[in-house]
Amino acid sequence: MSYRPYPAISWDPLNPDVIADPFPIYKKLRTESPIFWHEGMNAWVLTRYADCKSMLHHSEIYARDKRRIGIDIPPDHMQIQFQDPPESRELRRILMHSLVEMDLPTITQECAHDLLIMALEYSDSAQLDLMNDIAKPIALELTEHIMGVKEIEFDYHAQVFSGLSRGMDRNLESRREQDGKKAGRQLADAMSKWYLEATGNGLLARVKEATKSLELPVPYVQNTLSAVFNAAYTDLFAATGSVILTLMQHPEAVSGIQRISTESELRLAANEFIRFISPAQGISRFAVTETKLGGFTIERGEQVVALLASANRDPEQFDEPDQLVLNRDPNAHLGFGYGPHTCAGAELARIWIVAVLNMYRAGEFHLVQTSTEHYQRTATLRCLESLPVAVRLGTN
């Protein structure tokens, strides 16, 4: 076994204080322990931008597909997020083509209008919880619309989302693996029914039609669509809360958004919000062969975690990394990963953030935080659980 360096400072990813603001400890880790071994994760951890991007770029060395290190994946569990190129290429092409054909900007703008209407309905209320009263129903509505799924029972989906989010941290607490597996089965069962009934112009129907002539196993297609469904909802829900909280905490950013005059400038701003908030904190791979990184030997089969949120605040890559710079360009952040395994909901999340910022640009209302925000206790996904706010009409 190779020498394993341990971090110079104590880091518990599930500590509520760390979840609430992980960036100070990320800064210390980048400085004092840029590459280290974490016992809880049973993995090497990378904190610098260059190392994280290199890991994600070199799929010939760092695998997402566990079969490449000798771990079997049952055929009925397979989906494209478990594969490496070129095996995943055909279904990914179909997914991306189907999404492009759906005109996501128009769909998201319609849902943004619904969000605006919901917010204005609360203008006479003393307080609401942005995450539960607005972000959850809007994220679910938009996900249903895109996937072509009829109305999902709200509480049922909340349980599935919670289980899948906890399951991402299965190495940090033993119970979380079972939570994730149970939620995965629930979503898979629902997807089988939705896929069978899929008609119309939603993503399920489009993919179902496009794969008819291909010899792709149906469970493989359905599992992939389950992953897309969860990624879309997760990115929309997490981004809504994080973007709005950031705007409330940075009133100068609201003023900056309201001065924006072009769509290209708005897209730059949305891209900067993704870098700044980094809802996906990390992503993992497995070393296919023994390799060297930062002077350390990583053995075949060992897990490597790229801390994307730390990489996105690396001063070696970004000037003033802890500042929200709305016109930052270039901005090659790793907010949704990088390369062939870029998050399936990434483009949707970008378009949705543009739509949310557009509402602030219009200045019809603004939100005021009325009490302390709370984050769900998950490490891989940093996502607000509650955000008490009041709605005020007009600009600040």
pLDDT digits (tens, 9 = 90+) for 355-364: 999 988 888 7
- Evaluate if residue 308 carries a pLDDT over 90: yes
For the question of whether the overall pTM of this predicted structure is more than 0.85, the answer is yes
Residue 343 vs residue 182, higher pLDDT: 182
**Of 64, 66, 11, nearest in space to 34 by CA:** 11
Q: What is the pLDDT of residue 395?
A: 65
Q: Which domains does the chain have, with CATH numbers?
A: 16-393 (1.10.630.10)
- Name the pairing type of β-strands 43-46 and 303-306: parallel
- Evaluate if residue 340 carries a pLDDT over 80: no
Question: What average pLDDT does this structure show over 72-80?
Answer: 94
CA dihedral 138, 154, 160, 278 (to 10 degrees): 20
Question: What average pLDDT does this structure show over 186-191?
Answer: 96
Cα end-to-end distance, the chain, whole Å: 59
Q: What is the pLDDT of residue 331?
A: 97
Q: What is the CA radius of gyration of the chain?
A: 21
Q: What is the pLDDT of residue 364?
A: 78
Reported as a single tens digit per residue, the pLDDT across 124-160 is 787 899 999 999 999 999 999 999 998 888 888 999 9
Q: What is the pLDDT of residue 150?
A: 85
- From start to end of 212-282, where are the E strands? none
Q: Name the band, by pLDDT with cuts 50, 70 and 90, for residue 188.
A: very high
Q: Name the band, by pLDDT with cuts 50, 70 and 90, for residue 345.
A: confident
What is the rounded distance in angstroms from the CA atom of residue 268 to the CA atom of residue 86? 31
Q: What is the pLDDT of residue 1?
A: 64
Q: What is the pLDDT of residue 232?
A: 92
- Evaluate if residue 396 carries a pLDDT over 80: no
Q: What is the pLDDT of residue 154?
A: 85
- Evaluate if residue 79 carries a pLDDT over 90: yes
Question: What average pLDDT does this structure show over 60-89?
Answer: 93
- Name the pairing type of β-strands 35-38 and 43-46: antiparallel
What is the rounded distance in angstroms from the CA atom of residue 56 to the CA atom of residue 332? 13
What is the rounded distance in angstroms from the CA atom of residue 380 to the CA atom of residue 88? 24
Reported as a single tens digit per residue, the pLDDT across 101-134 is 998 999 998 888 888 888 888 887 878 999 999 9
- Evaluate if residue 205 carries a pLDDT over 70: yes
Cis peptide before 137 (omega within 30 of 0): no
- Evaluate if residue 347 carries a pLDDT over 90: no
What is the rounded distance in angstroms from the CA atom of residue 156 to the CA atom of residue 163? 11
Phi, psi of 176 (to 5 degrees): -70, -30
Reported as a single tens digit per residue, the pLDDT across 246-269 is 999 999 999 999 999 999 999 999
Question: What average pLDDT does this structure show over 284-292?
Answer: 96
Question: What average pLDDT does this structure show over 73-88?
Answer: 92
Contacts of 346 (CB under 8 A, 6+ apart): 235, 335, 336, 337
Per-residue DSSP letter, 206: H
Q: What percent of the chain has pLDDT over 90?
A: 80
Contacts of 279 (CB under 8 A, 6+ apart): 234, 235, 238, 239, 242, 335, 381, 382, 383
Residue matched to tokens 């792709």: 216
Contacts of 12 (CB under 8 A, 6+ apart): 18, 40
Q: Is 68 helix (H, G, I), strand (E, B) or coil?
A: helix
Reported as a single tens digit per residue, the pLDDT across 1-12 is 678 999 989 999
HSE-CB for 127 with a 13 A CA cutoff: 10
Please report, for residues 238, 271, 272, 276, the alpha-carbon distance to residue 323 in angstroms, rounded to integers and kept in the order given.
20, 14, 10, 8
Mean pLDDT of the chain: 93
Please report, for residues 136, 155, 308, 374, the alpha-carbon distance to residue 113 in angstroms, rounded to integers and kept in the order given.
15, 24, 32, 26
Phi, psi of 74 (to 5 degrees): -55, 140
**Of 168, 176, 147, nearest in space to 236 by CA:** 147
Reported as a single tens digit per residue, the pLDDT across 16-44 is 999 999 999 999 999 999 999 999 999 99
Q: What is the pLDDT of residue 120?
A: 81
365 within 8 A of 254, measured Cβ to Cβ: no
**Of 67, 203, 53, nearest in space to 195 by CA:** 203
What is the rounded distance in angstroms from the CA atom of residue 125 to the CA atom of residue 293? 55
Q: Name the band, by pLDDT with cuts 50, 70 and 90, for residue 373.
A: very high
- Evaluate if residue 338 carries a pLDDT over 90: no
User: Residue 15, Cβ neighbours under 10 Å: how many?
Assistant: 14
